[in-house]
Amino acid sequence: MAQKFGANSLAFARTAVAASVLALIPVTTGAIAAMDAKTQNEFARFMAVFEEVRANYVEPVDANTLMDGAISGMLSSLDPHSGYLDARDFEQLRTQTEGEYGGLGLSVTLEDGAVKVIAPTADTPADRAGIKAGDYITHLDGKLIFGSSLDEAVDQMRGTPGTKISLTLVRPGRDKPIDVTLTREVIIIKPVKWEVKNNIGVISIASFSETTTRDLRGAMTAIDKSLGGRKPTGYIIDLRSNPGGLLDEAIGVSDTFLNKGEIVSQRGRRADDIERYYARAGDMAEGRPIIVLIDAGSASASEIVAGALQDQHRALIMGERSFGKGSVQTVLPLTETTALRLTTARYFTPSGRSVQEGGIDPDVKVPQISDPDYKNRPKFREADLQRHLINEKKVDNSVLESDTKEDPRFNMTAEQLKKQGIEDFQLDYALKTLTRIAAGPKMATSGAAPAVPTPKAPVPAAPAKKN
């Protein structure tokens, strides 16, 4: 079965594809004969190199090793999210889509030979140790790992639950390296957590795995029960540092709060290759106000949800600009243990916006000033990745209204906030804002909460150069 995912490169959505796509036929004499002359010449060039390496390399080389390297190299020349999944990668994919795996709770990538943290998973050893997105891991148990492959670094970080490992981190903005010791454990990703604060349902979605929509609806039911059967004042949906996940789950989460209308569309290389997904009747929140929190770590499936609720004027989007991954990958099995992960489409919000490169701009920009490293740490986004897809639909954001007054609290320090009992400034800001929205005009002059701007109207995207 093939799989599609509209999230980051570690999470996938199962879907059916045409049988012709699945018919991955080995190259035979007949297949070569069907190629055009130029393709035949290129294939012959590849085979000539293959044979020269096998015949003349200083040490014997296994043909499978050469072929795996060739395939990986071919796919790595495309974009950051296409790739070849060998047996180990394919097994890792399966365990991650099921929401449980062993390790430290880190998503990492390789950047110019250095292991860079994409994001820690909430409530894991990495998260509890204070590891941040954008940190570089330079040493494992005191040994330099610069220049190692990503697989080698991941293998060293994984291990038997209960065993310890030391990491040395370089954090932009910090003068000295940071040393942390973590204890490995079985990472069970709980995609949805909830709590009630000030009669507001706060729902954190850490990933879009197979049970996210079901768990979200279960959380909303549990919130009602905790309030004696009453609905909360409103909801805060926290998508910060959520790297994405299954496309179907992003659609399901959006549909939970929408009564009608388009949620997302995906468009392939041909102009007529468009799939659209729509909401069904039934808003589980029954029209109550919603704030969605996003940041630079909110990617793909998270951006689908934020974009759908923003374009449909169903939620106020708050926080920082999101990651900007607007592509869809399809996983095509090659054998029982290997697969091809290929970027096959771009996705678009209901108004026709592509978030590729640019991400989702919040209606209300709120910095996370409770993080002492906030100002000094650079934000890592899709546009920073080598060979990222270019956004072919450009939107004129100059016509969007921006806040003319900055909240004076934005200039406070993390230490000042801590003295006021505020550990999470963005969440605190969202709670006060939602309270004011629910209370209506009677609080307009009370100064009890920040001013609430009207969500931005979506701007129609300019026609694509090609689609």
- Check residues 168 and 299 and name the one with the higher pLDDT: 168
Whether pLDDT at 203 is above 80: yes
Spans of all domains in the chain: 3-92, 100-188, 192-324+347-443
Q: What is the pLDDT of residue 41?
A: 84
Whether 179 sits among the annotated catalytic residues: the reply is no
**pLDDT band at residue 286 using 50, 70 and 90 as cut-offs:** very high
Q: How many Å from the N-terminal Cα to the C-terminal Cα in the chain?
A: 27
d(CA 346, CA 356): 8
Whether pLDDT at 27 is above 50: no
- Check residues 311 and 374 and name the one with the higher pLDDT: 311
Q: What is the mean pLDDT of residues 86-95?
A: 69
- List the catalytic residue out of 82, 300, 327, 354: 300
> Exposed/middle/buried for 158, CB within 10 Å: 0-12, 13-18, 19+?
middle
Beta-strand (E) ranges in 189-260?
Answer: 192-197, 200-205, 235-238
**pLDDT band at residue 259 using 50, 70 and 90 as cut-offs:** very high
**What helix, strand, coil percent values describe the chain, rounded to 5?**
30, 25, 50
- Lowest mean per-residue pLDDT among 83-92, 185-194, 290-299: 83-92
Tell me, which fold does domain 192-324+347-443 have in CATH? 2-enoyl-CoA Hydratase; Chain A, domain 1 (3.90.226)
- List the catalytic residue out of 4, 132, 325, 393: 325
Q: What is the pLDDT of residue 393?
A: 52
Assign 354 to helix, strand or coil.
strand
Q: What is the pLDDT of residue 236?
A: 98
Q: What is the mean pLDDT of residues 214-240?
A: 96
Whether pLDDT at 452 is above 60: no
Q: How much is the pTM?
A: 0.72
Helix residue ranges per DSSP H, 264-395: 301-311
Count of CB atoms situated within 10 Å of the CB of 240: 24
Q: What is the pLDDT of residue 245?
A: 84
- Lowest mean per-residue pLDDT among 2-6, 44-48, 304-308, 447-451: 447-451
Q: What is the pLDDT of residue 67?
A: 85
Whether 394 sits among the annotated catalytic residues: the reply is no
- Check residues 350 and 209 and name the one with the higher pLDDT: 350
What would the two tokens of residue 179 be? 């040393």
Query: Are domains 100-188 and 192-324+347-443 of this chain identical in fold?
Result: no
Arithmetic mean of pLDDT over the chain: 79
Partners of residue 195 on adjacent β-strands? 202
- Domain 100-188: give its CATH architecture: Roll (2.30)
Counting residues of the chain whose pLDDT is more than 90, the rounded percentage is 36
What would the two tokens of residue 427 be? 């969440």
Whether 300 sits among the annotated catalytic residues: the reply is yes
Q: How does pLDDT run across 373-402, given as a tens digit for each residue?
A: 767 666 656 545 544 445 555 444 433 334
- Lowest mean per-residue pLDDT among 73-77, 94-98, 120-124, 179-183: 94-98
Whether pLDDT at 15 is above 90: no
Q: What is the pLDDT of residue 391?
A: 59
Whether pLDDT at 21 is above 60: no
**pLDDT band at residue 449 using 50, 70 and 90 as cut-offs:** very low
